[in-house]
Amino acid sequence: MPLRDHFRPPLDDRTSWDGFHGQWPAMITLELSRKLPRRYVAAPHVHLGSSIEIDVATYEEDGADS
């Protein structure tokens, strides 16, 4: 997916990098949850601190129906 620069004029007054960055893993997780088989669970992981890490992982549940 292309990342467009929406954080310069004229759009920077309406959007923020923090808002986009915070919502992006949630939207990826939501879409993955719709497409993955039922035995999988998608979960976002966001770590903020001196370094920033964003990851989306899938987990297979034991004994779940397909």
The number of beta carbons lying within 10 Å of the beta carbon of residue 6 is: 13
Share of the chain above pLDDT 70, in %: 56
Q: Give the per-residue pLDDT at 50.
A: 74
pLDDT at residue 35 in the model: 92
Read off the pLDDT of residues 44-62 as tens digits, 9 standing for 90 and up: 877 667 766 667 777 777 7
Give the pLDDT score at 31: 92
Q: pLDDT of 14-34, one tens digit each?
A: 667 777 777 888 888 899 999
- 8-36 burial, b at 16+ Cβ within 10 Å, e below that, comes to eeeeeeeeeeeeeeeebbeebbeebeeee
The full set of domain ranges for the chain reads 11-60
For the entire predicted model, the pTM comes to 0.53
